[in-house]
Amino acid sequence: MEIIKTKDYDEMSKQACVKVIETIEEMHQPVLGLATGSTPEGLYKCLIDAYKRNKVHFDKVTTFNLDEYIGLSPEDKNSYHYYMNENFFKHIDLPADQANVPKGNTGNASQACEDYEQLIREAGHIDLQILGLGVNGHIAFNEPHTPFNSRTQVVDLTESTRDANARFFESMDDVPTQAITMGLESIMESREIILLVSGFKKAAALAELIHGKKTESLPASILKNHPNVTIIADEEALSKA
Ligand code: GLP
């Protein structure tokens, strides 16, 4: 795992932005894996800005988001689909049928998981996957003790993750208890992975990832097995490493 230390959040976002644009320029039909949460917001702003300045186009890009809450429709303001529309998709020239987010509100979630894996296979797998890091070391919604060989599936969210994400909801009761997430093995099939980490609250998990051993109690530690991972983290996130 290569580690790039940045001064702050803005520099982390800019470095990731450069990397995403390079990937789009290099590939004929690039496939990007996208994340939600606060961490990638700066990256999306930077990409939108580059698009507006005619530095990048998304018409040949296909995207796959990592996860979605069960029970929320794409129109629900707290769904990850809504987040992606507001923070990224509606500002760029990515055709709507090339932007994929797991379907959290179908009657048949396990079928939705299988369909999602099939779509990723048909697209030829993910060229560059963007990841954030949960305070408990989760990636996507793969919580501690998720088997390393997990595929896209429905998962129960831990209280710590529901707490961490409650800031986006009106009350704790509104925070869903389940989600669809790409599995750890599915994520590992990406050709290249960038893990973005910012702020003191992620410092302990990041230190454990860098110095600890590979263990299912820290889902992100599976990344140690991947040949092409770059961690872009700011000084605060690296303060305990
Ligand atoms: C959430 C998401 C993850 C995200 C992580 C960190 O639960 N499911 O995909 O990377 O937690 O979120 P944030 O960037 O808001 O700290």
Residue range 190-200, pLDDT digits in tens = 999 999 999 99
Instruction: Share the mean pLDDT of the chain.
Output: 97
The dihedral sign for the CA sequence 83, 47, 60, 182: negative
Angle between helices 9-26 and 41-52 (to 10 degrees): 50
Percent of the chain scored above 70 by pLDDT? 100
Query: For 35-50, what is the mean pLDDT?
Result: 98
Report the pLDDT value the prediction gives residue 107, as an integer from 0 to 100. Answer: 87
* Domain ranges within the chain, ordered by starting residue: 2-130+139-197+225-233
Q: State if residue 43 touches ligand 1 by the CB under 6 angstroms criterion.
A: no
Report the pLDDT value the prediction gives residue 95, as an integer from 0 to 100. Answer: 98
Exposure letters 1-11 (e unless 16+ CB within 10 A, then b):
eeebebeebeb
The answer to whether 119 touches 182, Cβ cutoff 8 Å, is no
Residue owning the nearest CA to atom 3 of ligand 1: 140
Q: State if residue 134 touches ligand 1 by the CB under 6 angstroms criterion.
A: yes
Q: State if residue 46 touches ligand 1 by the CB under 6 angstroms criterion.
A: no
Counting from 1 in the atom list of ligand 1, the atom nearest the Cα of 36 is 9
At 65 the three-state DSSP class reads strand
Task: Return the residue matching tokens 């872009």.
Answer: 232
* Model confidence pLDDT, tens digit, residues 107-151: 899 999 999 999 999 999 999 999 999 999 999 999 999 999 999
* Model confidence pLDDT, tens digit, residues 159-180: 989 999 999 899 999 999 999 9
CA distance 34 to 3: 20
Q: State if residue 160 touches ligand 1 by the CB under 6 angstroms criterion.
A: no
Residues identified as active-site: 67, 136, 138, 143
* Model confidence pLDDT, tens digit, residues 59-102: 999 999 999 999 999 999 999 999 999 999 999 999 999 999 99
In CATH, what is the architecture of 2-130+139-197+225-233? 3-Layer(aba) Sandwich (3.40)
* Stated pTM of the model: 0.96
pLDDT band at 28 (very low <50, low <70, confident <90, very high): very high
Centre of ligand 1 to C-alpha 97, Å, is 25
At 107 the three-state DSSP class reads coil
Query: For 4-32, what is the mean pLDDT?
Result: 98
Q: Give strand ranges (E) for the chain.
A: 2-6, 31-34, 62-65, 67-69, 99-100, 128-131, 153-156, 178-181, 192-197, 229-234
Percent of the chain scored above 90 by pLDDT? 98
